[in-house]
């Protein structure tokens, strides 16, 4: 899989129990699918005095090996689906870029931009880059990027196209957050500057408006609001597409979401250095806590749906952010779930201890 796995603390034991060592270059999750029953092998290599206890353990190990294999297969299936979806998305993106007229780029500007022409003119110019996919026009000001403008200058259909057909590059991200934490900060790896807050009609919780502050010209905007149904869920709505790469993760834990100084402070307490979209509180407490974990999985499910929606719907949302972050979280959760499942299983622990002791004995110079 990806390097991220190797950085997962919960997986850093390198125990070689069923799963291959997680090296630096796992390109596909399928790599996990190869069950290596090293524990079993090591264990069986012992000069056995086949006592009933040993036999029982052996049976147990075999059973776990089977289970391990099943899990690996399930993981393979999930990974395959993930890859399929991703390639599907890539195809759609390429199709969209080769035939821009069919994808109605226009809406990327906030659909409700209501400023006057003078403002919108420079606004669209500024917003243009977000309309294209970064890999094509990283710096904007190309035909595709100006399309919004051209559509608008071509006549009044502009508005309608924008609001109806051209679904703006909007994607939503559902992030689990501590309900007691009132801040509206969603960690996604980018730097955001808050420029407004508003209480909306349908939700008692205020909505915060952010702009990407990493690149001055980046047109991406983000709205964050707690879900009206579940205050522990933060709904982040991204509009537009970053015209710059993702800011490099800070070497240590420090300002990540917020730009500098106060922003970082207000943007959140120390957070995981990765662009994970889990709210810091949850991220800090969740990895081992079952309830949080469940919520995270639900959250992950939401995100998965959103990613799929983004793939199927508006071609090329800020999926560069949203989808990447979502998939990141999905994978992370997957790994955490696996690690938790294993570490919480007493029989697994017992087998692990047995295997380790057997291995130690085997490697011991005094072994006979």
Positions touching DNA (CB under 7 A) are: 110, 112-116, 119, 159, 163, 192-202, 207-209, 213, 221, 223, 258-263, 265-267
Do residues 128 and 149 touch, judged by C-beta distance below 8 A? yes
C-alpha atoms less than 13 angstroms from C-alpha of 258 in its C-beta half-sphere: 20
- Residue (140 or 358) nearer to DNA, CB: 140
Q: How far is the CB of 138 from DNA (least distance, A)?
A: 22
Q: How far is the CB of 217 from DNA (least distance, A)?
A: 14
CA torsion, ordered 292, 172, 235, 161, to nearest 10 deg = -170
Q: How far is the CB of 257 from DNA (least distance, A)?
A: 8
Q: How far is the CB of 182 from DNA (least distance, A)?
A: 9
Q: How far is the CB of 201 from DNA (least distance, A)?
A: 3
Q: How far is the CB of 253 from DNA (least distance, A)?
A: 15
- Residue (221 or 332) nearer to DNA, CB: 221
Q: How far is the CB of 292 from DNA (least distance, A)?
A: 25
- Residue (119 or 362) nearer to DNA, CB: 119
- Residue (132 or 213) nearer to DNA, CB: 213
- Residue (184 or 311) nearer to DNA, CB: 184
- Residue (9 or 269) nearer to DNA, CB: 269
Backbone angles phi, psi at 23, to 5 degrees: -85, -165
Q: Which structure tokens are listed for 109?
A: 């500007």
Q: How far is the CB of 301 from DNA (least distance, A)?
A: 26
Q: How far is the CB of 218 from DNA (least distance, A)?
A: 12
- Residue (31 or 184) nearer to DNA, CB: 184
Question: Quick one: which of 74, 10, 59 has its CA closest to 347?
Answer: 59
- Residue (263 or 295) nearer to DNA, CB: 263
Which residues lie closer than 8 Å to 180 by C-beta, 6 or more apart?
281
CA angle 189, 193, 195 (to 5 degrees): 145
- Residue (141 or 260) nearer to DNA, CB: 260
Distance CA(264)–CA(271), nearest Å, equals: 10
Strand partners, 211: 193, 221
């Amino acid at each position: 899989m990806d390097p991220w796995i190797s950085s997962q603390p919960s997986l850093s034991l390198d125990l070689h129990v069923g799963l291959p060592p997680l090296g630096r270059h796992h390109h596909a999750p399928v790599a996990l699918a190869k069950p290596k029953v090293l524990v079993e092998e090591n264990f069986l290599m012992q000069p056995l005095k086949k006592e009933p206890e040993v036999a029982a353990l052996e049976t147990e190990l075999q059973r776990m090996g089977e289970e391990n294999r099943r899990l690996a297969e399930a993981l393979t299936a999930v990974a395959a689906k993930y890859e399929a979806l991703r390639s599907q998305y890539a195809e759609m993106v390429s199709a969209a870029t080769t035939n821009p007229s069919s994808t109605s780029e226009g809406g990327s500007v906030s659909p409700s931009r209501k400023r006057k022409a003078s403002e919108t003119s420079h606004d669209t110019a500024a917003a243009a880059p977000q309309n294209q996919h970064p890999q094509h026009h990283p710096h904007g000001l190309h035909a595709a990027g100006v399309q919004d403008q051209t559509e608008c200058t071509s006549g009044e259909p502009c508005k309608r196209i924008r609001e109806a057909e051209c679904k703006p590059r909007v994607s939503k991200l559902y992030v689990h957050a501590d309900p007691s934490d009132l801040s509206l900060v969603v960690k996604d790896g980018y730097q955001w500057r808050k420029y407004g807050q508003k209480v909306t009609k349908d939700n008692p919780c205020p909505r915060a408006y952010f702009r990407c502050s990493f690149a001055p010209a980046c047109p991406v905007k983000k709205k964050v609001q707690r879900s009206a149904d579940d205050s522990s869920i933060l709904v982040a709505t991204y509009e537009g597409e970053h015209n710059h790469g993702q800011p490099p993760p800070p070497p240590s834990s420090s300002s990540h979401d917020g730009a500098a100084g106060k922003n970082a402070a207000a943007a959140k307490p120390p957070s995981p250095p990765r662009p994970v979209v889990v709210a810091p509180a949850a991220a800090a407490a969740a990895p081992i806590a079952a309830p949080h974990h469940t919520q995270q999985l639900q959250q992950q499910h939401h995100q998965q749906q959103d990613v799929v929606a983004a793939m199927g719907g508006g071609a090329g949302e800020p999926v560069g952010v949203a989808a990447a972050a979502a998939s990141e979280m999905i994978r992370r959760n997957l790994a955490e779930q696996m690690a938790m499942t294993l570490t919480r299983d007493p029989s697994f622990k017992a087998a692990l201890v047995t295997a380790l002791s057997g291995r130690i004995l085997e490697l011991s110079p005094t072994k006979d």
